[in-house]
Amino acid sequence: MARLVLITGAAGNLGRAVAEVFVRNGDTVALLGRSRESLARVYGAEDAQHLFVAADLLQPQALQEALRELASRGGGVEVLCNLAGGFSMGETVHATPAADWQLMHDLNVRTLLHAVQAVVPGMVARGHGKVVNVGANAALRGAALMGAYAAAKSQVLRLTESMAAELREHGINVNCVLPSIIDTPENRAAMPKADPARWVTPRQLAEVIAFLASDAAGAVHGAGIPVVGLS
């Protein structure tokens, strides 16, 4: 039976790859982006398997309203893929401005929190669901000039573990992937001397996300799975 899969950050490179894998598997994807125009540029027009959800993840009330409208069209969300996030190199920890700490927290933590606050209660009521978060391999250890990003992604991993402990008895699996550098046009442009063959492709990461959202991963709770290619 087809499930309704909500994908945040759906207009990005990884979002497109994740959507393709779930649609290939027969699911319906609800594609969440900041605007319908940004989604249309990537996916074209809506159809029966591609539903557009325009909302700002940092505006929880607007997000709740958008998801209520989605429920009227597609039913309850059975799989939540939290892809939205952001990265930037920073300063040394002692020199990082407060605004930079807040930006990394907003993009990587608050977006996730608002999405799960909007979606998970419905999963609890139905007694089943899958949540897959996108962390980062950087969550496992600090690195120079990456303190704000590493701290934010570490929160994603700890939140994943906490949610898994809270929700497993409700029939809900919560796990996350921890990718290294993803092979995107933006990363190739930013690192022209690097070898992208050593990076992780969006499709490779999408396949792991789809596995964690499958019945085959029903016994997996609170995992942070490194997906690092050859890097």
Q: Which residues are catalytic?
A: 149
Task: Determine contact, residues 203/21, Cβ cutoff 8 Å.
Answer: yes
Which alpha helices (DSSP H) does 57-134 contain, by range?
60-74, 98-105, 111-126
* Contacting residues for 18 by C-beta, under 8 A, at least 6 apart: 7, 10, 81, 83, 202, 205, 206, 209, 210
Task: Determine contact, residues 180/159, Cβ cutoff 8 Å.
Answer: no
β-strand 224-227 against 79-82: which pairing, if any?
A: unpaired
